[in-house]
Amino acid sequence: MFVSIAVDPGSEERARELADLLAQYGFKKIQRGLWESTSISPGALARVKRDLDRATDAFDKLRFFQFPMDGTLVLSSLREKKWRRMVAIDGELQNKSK
């Protein structure tokens, strides 16, 4: 699965911590604040999300672009320590909050 993660950290120290964590999972830095993986498994992605959730606070923002996930484009975001998810089905977005 292809996954791109946009990272907007609340501090420079947090940026380094998140960069180290993403590199451990094999993500490559594409440009400032943007990381990608073309071969992450669904299980590893779940672990990345869990670890990022633990490593962030309310000042950090993350946005995941996942394709394909069940044949669709999935956008997940973490903002103010709340996960939100949008799924593109037949060209329409469906919002799901967690």
**3 state SS of 80:** coil
Count, residues in the chain: 98
The domain tally of the chain equals: 1
Per-residue model confidence as pLDDT tens for the chain (98 residues) = 999 999 999 999 999 999 999 999 999 999 999 999 999 999 999 999 999 999 999 999 999 999 886 678 899 999 999 999 998 877 666 776 65
* DSSP codes joined into one string, 8-69: E-SSHHHHHHHHHHHHHTT-EEEETTEEEESS--HHHHHHHHHHHHHH--TT-EEEEEEEEE
Kindly list the distances between the CA atom of residue 38 and the CA atoms of 3, 60, 87, in Å, as whole numbers in the listed order.
Answer: 6, 24, 19
Q: What is the CATH number of the domain that holds 81?
A: 3.30.70.240
Q: What pLDDT score does 89 carry?
A: 77
Domain that holds residue 90: 2-97
Whole-model pTM? Answer: 0.86
